[in-house]
Structures are given as structure tokens and as C-alpha cells.
Amino acid sequence: MVVLVIEYDGTAYHGSQWQANAPTIQGEMEKALQQLTGEKIRIKAAGRTDAGVHARGQVIGFTTASDLPLTAFRDGMNHYLPRDIAVLAAYRAPDGFDVRRRAVNREYRYTIRSGATRSPLRDAYAWPVAGELDISAMNQACQHLIGRHDLASFVASAQAIRDRRTVREVFKAEITGDGDMIYFDIVANAFLPHQVRNTVGALVRVGQGRLTPAEFGEMVEAAQPGLAGPTAPAAGLCLMRVNYAGPFEGEAR
């Protein structure tokens, strides 16, 4: 089995998962694989990203009859892929390795830009929010996310989580600032649909003084769909890394 770590700018895509009538990351990856190997291959991703969301460390896996070396999968895929998708690394994994189920946790970063004027370059990958945000208060609110919780409040509706369990374990939730750039980093075993973007929407309200950290904590405990938000724009969200219990067998060099 081959495992690839990929990076992509999700701006032009309708998410990572294949759709019949829209460009997707999966669609482009499978098209490039067919051009490289001559096989029609179905890939599986470690995490699903929505339309407009980016990734620096998405992981995909697939089986193939091809005996191409790992360097050929890395370099050959980069030859066929569009410029907004790239293979960063290629590995071997045992047959049947499930890149989604075997993941220990996933790391996401959401970027906010706090300022009074537009920034065409930076705003393409951030949520521009007017005025200053209270980072200390936002970090106080983040503490309510750490641990094992029912995070149903951070999905838009009960319909969005139908047939899904909503308990997740969050290992890290932190706000940091660098000038007018603000970063929300979160690590959890898994994520619900729009969970990070709805969390950011609520945290911005805390930063603006419209919601207290204690009220944010009450929102977590309520576990009621639709409480959090507004949903932050997709452009600011990036899947940074998917972590596994151990290393893969080999690596393209």
C-alpha cells in the first residue's frame, strides 16, 4: 500500500471528497494516479476538508499493482497534478492500512487577521476581523475545550450530525498572536462537520467581548447543535498534520 502526504490550496475546490460535477482534491489525485500508473485507483483520505479549506499535511492511502518506486509516486504525481496540489512525501504501509481509522489525532490551524484595512494577499488565507481581539479571554475560553466532551454545540444542526457520535477528545486548543495575525491551533482525535469553523466563530465573539469565557464553557456543556458560531470562512482553515502511532515502513528519498 502507498501512503502520500499532500499539501493543497483548497480555494478552487469543492472539498477533498469526490463529487460528480465539481472539482475536488480526490478527483484531481485519482486523475493524476491514472495518468501515472494506467490504473483506475480509488484513494482514501485521513480527514475530510470542506470547500475552500486548505491542507499542509493531508494523508491519503491507496493500493496499486504498480511497482513504481516511491520517488516516482512523489515526483510523477507532482508532474501530473495542478499547481495548487502537491505530494510532499511518499511511504509504504502494510496492506489494508486505513489512513483514517489508524490516525491518532489531527491538527488544524485557523488564521484570523485583525485590522482596520484590507490585505488582499493575507486575507486570501485568513478571516479579516475588524478591531482588536482579547487573546487572553479567548485562551480562557479555549480551556473549556480541553479533554473529552460532547461537542454537539459546534455543529450547525442536528441534521448535520445524524448518525454520528459527537463526543471528541481535544488535546490542545490555543490562541497565539503575531502582530495583526491571530492563530487558533487545535488538536483532537477527530472532528465534526464545521466544528473548527464554528468554534472560531464563538471564540471571536469572546475576543470582541460579546461572549464571556464562562458563557463559552456553558456552550460546550450544553451540547446543543446550533449554539456556536457564526461559522468562520473556509479560507482561514488548514489541516496541518495527521499523526499516527508509529512511522511508515519506507520513504521516498
- Catalytic residue ranges: 50
Rounded CA separation 156/133 (Å): 24
Rounded CA separation 123/89 (Å): 29
Q: Degrees (nearest 5) of the Cα angle 137, 219, 200?
A: 55
CB 225 within 8 A of CB 83: no
- DSSP letter, residue 118: -
Please spell the DSSP secondary structure of 28-78, one letter per residue. Answer: HHHHHHHHHHSS----EESS---TT-EEEEEEEEE--S----HHHHHHHHH
Rounded CA separation 155/105 (Å): 19
Q: How many CB atoms lie within 10 A of CB 147?
A: 12
CB 239 within 8 A of CB 58: yes
